[in-house]
Amino acid sequence: MRSFLLAICVLASTAAIAPPANAQNYPWCAHYGSDFGGSTNCGFVSREQCMATLSGIGGFCERNTQYVPRPAGSRGR
């Protein structure tokens, strides 16, 4: 029982000190499949990158309406 409580305390403290996760934000989305179903991946920097991913499997690319560019001067990790 003590080892279980120790494990819970270690996990809780690790979660408390871990940095928050940031969502990825990219300007292009790939829509796989048809207009009536399929999946979406909004992880593309350029339209060309998105189109290359869809090459041979079908789908379409469009701008990410939720994209917000980083402010000038801020740097990613």
Give the pLDDT confidence of 8-47 residue by residue, as tens digits. 877 777 666 767 666 668 999 999 976 667 899 999 999 9
Q: Where are the domains of the chain?
A: 23-68
CB atoms under 10 Å from CB of 61, counted, come to 20
Residues belonging to the chain: 77
Q: Taking the complete model, does pTM exceed 0.85, yes or no?
A: no
Residue 60 CB contacts under 8 Å (≥ 6 apart), including other chains: 30, 31, 54
Query: What angle is formed at CA 49 by the lines to CA 26 and CA 57, rounded to 5 degrees?
Result: 110
DSSP state for residue 18 in the 8-state scheme = S
- pLDDT at residue 38 in the model: 82
